[in-house]
Amino acid sequence: MRFLFLLTALFLASLNLRPAISSVSPLLETIRESLGMSGALASLLTSLPVLCMGFFAPAAVKLSSRFGLERTVACCLLLIGGATAARFAASTGWMLLLTALVAGIGIAITGPLLSGFVKRHFDNPTAIVGVYSMSLVIGAGLGAALAVPLQSALNDSWQASAASWSVLAFAALLFWWRPIKPKQRVAGSDEPAVQTTPQAKRAGLPLRSKRAWLLTGFFGLMAVIFYSMTAWLAPIVEEMGASRQTAGSVLTLFTVVQIPMSLLMPLLISRYQRRGVWLVACSLLELIGLLLLLLHASPWLIAIVLGLGAGGLFPIALMLPIDEAADAEEASSLSAMTQSGGYMIASLGPLFVGVMHDRFGGYTSAIYGLAILVIVMIVIQLRIGSKQPEKHRSTQQA
């Protein structure tokens, strides 16, 4: 029963970390027309939350140490829910950008803490990462898939559609507002109890670790591609001649394909190791998908290939800090650094695509630029893959 409660809490919290971003993309052209926003300014609706996820992630460790992990996550869920609900009243571009800023702060702090939560409460963190990443993808997929249908169902109001995702945050609060009791030592068992005292070891950001910077670079480039496609794949497909509904469906397929990959990839790495091979294979899929975009191939094929690549890379990016950390505090710290630097890099991706579109009147130059970044990412992955995943210590926290 405890396991199901913890898993549900993790699933619901993770579910809230993407809809505030992904639900904007299918509505982007409508929002631009309604509020008179340029392509570069509209791209900030995606870039700004991602930038917040980079800038505010380091605060996660200090806030968790002071207020407790669960209470901090609960407060962040309130931020996400409140900011998302406020979109119902958004009547200017700047008001909408403010909701993106506040939601981004909540998302930024929650992400690293969920990595620590996985490390602290579960016996097999590597397997649970699959559930964590899958719920992130499901949240992104729901936002992309239902944004336009919700707009149609809610009196053709994009504001109501964008605000409706606040329901997820308030549902998750039911599981997070009260601190979760730690797992105690079982009588006669050699399993150690979870460290619960406030004097537990607290790690700072590992800024002097070359490997931490390597992981941060990989996370950033991975997220650049992911968020650029999340923000602009639908508009790119529309420019290729598809209807808005079809473009939204293509974006949905891109997201849905990632769901089984997010669950399967951690299990494959746990079973077969050789994570460098899996990293490069997924990146090559992304590179092929971008080349297919340049060739104006079938949007459905493009969505599948890009989705397989992105769906495989994302859980590995989440898994690496957890896998290499000794305890929950170190996992939160390393995750905070990789996500902080990584999301700061990633925030430039959608902005880059929007600026290039405004400058050249199309997406071709932007797609070439993203393809070059994938090649750079592969070089970094070859360095990361040179070290095998460390075996979890026998004294690892449950």
The domain in which residue 161 lies consists of 2-177+206-384
CA distance 34 to 318: 37
241-284: pLDDT as tens digits: 888 788 878 988 898 898 888 888 877 877 776 778 889 999 99
CATH code for the domain of 153: 1.20.1250.20
Flag whether 188 is in a domain: no
Flag whether 187 is in a domain: no
Flag whether 310 is in a domain: yes
CA distance 56 to 338: 12
182-199: pLDDT as tens digits: 555 444 444 444 444 343
Flag whether 67 is in a domain: yes
Close Cβ partners of 245 (under 8 Å, ≥ 6 residues apart): 148
Flag whether 182 is in a domain: no
CA distance 254 to 225: 13
How many domains is the chain built from?
Answer: 1
Flag whether 395 is in a domain: no
Q: Residue 394, SS3?
A: coil
Flag whether 398 is in a domain: no
Q: Let me know: does 141 contact 60? Beta carbons within 8 Å.
A: no
- Two structure tokens written together for 298: 């079938």
What does pTM read for this prediction?
A: 0.74
Close Cβ partners of 218 (under 8 Å, ≥ 6 residues apart): 279, 317, 320, 342, 377, 380, 381, 384
Intervals of the chain under pLDDT 70: 179-204, 273, 325-328, 386-398
